[in-house]
């Protein structure tokens, strides 16, 4: 996305140039600069965290009761799974049975 240097409106591409539909200002396209722009498609992917080797990766532990086996220790990590203005979600993995669950802010 590019914004017009003259009026600040969003520009559109037409025949290899950027064109402002508000004021008519035109600029040549810089394909190299456009290739480095961040797209929303690249932001949609969420990282999957493999916790099978949690102890080897140095994940922190906390005292919490596992709902499956009753063990009182779990590894934890935080991950942003909702929009950026929402708080992160804490994921927990039992150190005994490796049951996974999450803790949301309410």
Maximum separation of any 2 CA atoms in the chain, in Å: 68
Task: Tell me whether residue 12 is annotated as binding.
Answer: no
Task: Tell me whether residue 91 is annotated as binding.
Answer: no
Task: Tell me whether residue 20 is annotated as binding.
Answer: yes
Would you call 17 helix, strand, or coil by DSSP?
strand
Task: Tell me whether residue 69 is annotated as binding.
Answer: yes
Could you tell me which residues are beta bridge partners of residue 89? 79
Task: Tell me whether residue 66 is annotated as binding.
Answer: yes
Report H helices in 12-101: 31-35, 40-43, 54-57
Task: Tell me whether residue 94 is annotated as binding.
Answer: yes
Task: Tell me whether residue 8 is annotated as binding.
Answer: no
Q: Cα separation of 97 and 79, whole Å?
A: 22
- Residue set of the binding site for Zn(2+): 4, 7, 20, 23, 66, 69, 94, 97
- Residue set of the binding site: 4, 7, 20, 23, 66, 69, 94, 97
């Amino acid at each position: 996305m590019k914004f017009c240097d003259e009026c600040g409106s969003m520009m559109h591409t037409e025949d290899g140039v950027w064109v402002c539909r508000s004021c008519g200002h035109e600029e040549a396209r810089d394909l190299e600069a456009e290739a480095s722009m961040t797209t929303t498609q690249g932001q949609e992917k969420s990282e999957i965290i493999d916790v099978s080797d949690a102890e080897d990766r140095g994940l922190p532990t906390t005292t919490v009761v596992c709902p499956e086996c009753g063990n009182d220790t779990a590894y934890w990590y935080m991950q942003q799974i909702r929009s950026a203005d929402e708080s992160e979600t804490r994921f927990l993995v039992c150190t005994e049975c490796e049951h996974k669950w999450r803790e949301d802010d309410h």
